[in-house]
Amino acid sequence: MKIALVGYGKMGHAIEEIAVEKGHEIVLRIGIENLEAFTKENIAKADVAIEFTSPHSAVENIKTCVDAGVAVVCGSTGWLQQLPEIEHYVSAANGAFLYASNFSVGVNLFFELNSFLAQLMRKHHDYHVTLEEIHHTQKKDAPSGTAITLAEQVMRYITGKKQWVNHTSDNEAELEIISERIDPAPGTHKIKYSSYIDDIEIIHTAHNRKGFASGAVMAAEFLYNKKGIFSMKEVLGF
Ligand SMILES: NC(=O)C1=CN([C@@H]2O[C@H](COP(=O)(O)OP(=O)(O)OC[C@H]3O[C@@H](n4cnc5c(N)ncnc54)[C@H](OP(=O)(O)O)[C@@H]3O)[C@@H](O)[C@H]2O)C=CC1
Ligand SMILES: O=C(O)C1=N[C@H](C(=O)O)C[C@H](O)C1
């Protein structure tokens, strides 16, 4: 498979290593220093574009790839308020698109566990639920995309929580997400249910970026020659 890497930072490099190990060819690498090479003609040389840039560039980058008729795997976080717009854009162009706030198999298992735990906890009103995420200091967005996915899963079942906030809160309707930035943390997420009697905690700790990168390559392999909008649930068969 021919891959275009849109964003050639920490994740772009990690994805390249795994994609090449698996026999794929990187036909285009786009970073800030060669944005002039990000043309429809160049992108069209790829079967799939893998986009990991920043909250501010993701939407335009996805549209450019869709316009070139190339399938897009997107891992950039911090732009999700525009996801409906992008899904509409992809559908209108009969394109192929897969977004995940986290591509690692471990975190996708953790998402399932988080939903299951929230279902179990929904009638146990003595417990107070909070979220915490820890990432490296270069991270541009807070809370992390993964923490937002986890919070949305919790709120589906703990219906007293109406919205998440990214600060401590005494308001029972608000779900606290506390963000910490500590190097070199690749990504730690914790959900905690606390009561006067005891605490229940689930935690996922990434030790490096390999899980994110190999999941993104799996997603690209899945998307190859497909049309439509997909998620990691379909890639992993959950
Ligand atoms: N879904 C997932 O599993 C994961 C998602 N992420 C997300 O992926 C994104 C990238 O993470 P990471 O690789 O660690 O970040 P980096 O900052 O290391 O890399 C991003 C790269 O994209 C470049 N870039 C910025 N704007 C553009 C643009 N318009 N076109 C092309 N390249 C651009 C940056 O250049 P410059 O540095 O010069 O600005 C940088 O080299 C973040 O949003 C992060 O939250 C990260 C890990 C896993
Ligand atoms: O920026 C990162 O590094 C990461 N970002 C993603 C997020 O925002 O959830 C995924 C992972 O935690 C690493």
For helices 10-21 and 210-223, the axis angle rounded to 10 degrees is 60
For 133, the 3-state DSSP assignment is strand
Q: Is 202 in contact with 213 (CB distance < 8 Å)?
A: no
Q: Is 138 in contact with 9 (CB distance < 8 Å)?
A: no
State pLDDT tens for residues 39-54: 999 999 999 999 999 9
For residue 130, which phi and psi values (nearest 5 degrees)? Answer: -140, 160
Q: Does residue 11 sit in the same domain as residue 99?
A: yes
Total domains present in the chain: 2
Instruction: Tell me the average pLDDT across 176-194.
Output: 98
CATH number of the domain that 16 lies in? 3.40.50.720
Ligand closest to Cα of 7 equals 1
What tokens were used for 62? Answer: 């996805």
Pocket test for ligand 2, best of 144, 177, 204 (most atoms within 8 A of CB): 144
Measured from the CB, is residue 212 less than 6 Å from ligand 1?
yes
State pLDDT tens for residues 196-232: 999 999 999 999 999 999 999 999 999 999 999 999 9
Nearest Cα residue to 164 out of 195, 191, 194, 204: 191
Instruction: Tell me the average pLDDT across 154-182.
Output: 97
CATH number of the domain that 165 lies in? 3.30.360.10
Q: Does residue 32 sit in the same domain as residue 69?
A: yes
The pLDDT confidence band at residue 89, using thresholds 50, 70 and 90, is very high
Q: Does residue 30 sit in the same domain as residue 121?
A: no
Q: Is 67 in contact with 40 (CB distance < 8 Å)?
A: yes
Rounded to the nearest angstrom, the distance between the alpha carbon of 146 and the centre of ligand 2 is: 7
Rounded to the nearest angstrom, the distance between the alpha carbon of 206 and the centre of ligand 2 is: 10
For 150, the 3-state DSSP assignment is helix
pLDDT, position 112: 98
Q: Does residue 99 sit in the same domain as residue 116?
A: no
Residue with tokens 């959950």: 238
Judge residue 169's burial from the number of C-beta atoms within 10 Å of its C-beta, 0-12 exposed, 13-18 middle, 19 or more buried.
middle
Residue 94, number of CB atoms within 10 A of its CB: 10
The ipTM value here is 0.98
Q: Does residue 62 sit in the same domain as residue 139?
A: no
Rounded to the nearest angstrom, the distance between the alpha carbon of 92 and the centre of ligand 1 is: 27
Q: Does residue 64 sit in the same domain as residue 150?
A: no
Q: Is 185 in contact with 121 (CB distance < 8 Å)?
A: no
The sheet that has 96-99: what strands, in order across it? 25-30, 2-6, 48-51, 71-74, 96-99, 228-230
Instruction: Tell me the average pLDDT across 110-139.
Output: 98
Measured from the CB, is residue 76 less than 6 Å from ligand 2?
no
How many degrees, rounded to 5, is the angle at CA 17 between CA 72 and CA 22? 75
d(CA 61, CA 237): 28
> pTM here?
0.97
The sheet that has 199-205: what strands, in order across it? 163-165, 174-181, 128-135, 188-194, 199-205
Q: Does residue 62 sit in the same domain as residue 114?
A: no
Q: Does residue 92 sit in the same domain as residue 153?
A: no
Q: Does residue 115 sit in the same domain as residue 198?
A: yes
Q: Is 231 in contact with 36 (CB distance < 8 Å)?
A: no
Measured from the CB, is residue 54 less than 6 Å from ligand 1?
yes
Rounded to the nearest angstrom, the distance between the alpha carbon of 10 and the centre of ligand 2 is: 11
Instruction: Tell me the average pLDDT across 60-81.
Output: 97
Write the residue with the smallest CA distance to atom 43 of ligand 1. Answer: 76
Q: Does residue 159 sit in the same domain as residue 119?
A: yes
Residues spanned by the domain of 140: 105-205
pLDDT, position 147: 98
Q: Does residue 98 sit in the same domain as residue 120?
A: no
Write the residue with the smallest CA distance to atom 25 of ligand 1. Answer: 53
Q: Does residue 180 sit in the same domain as residue 127?
A: yes
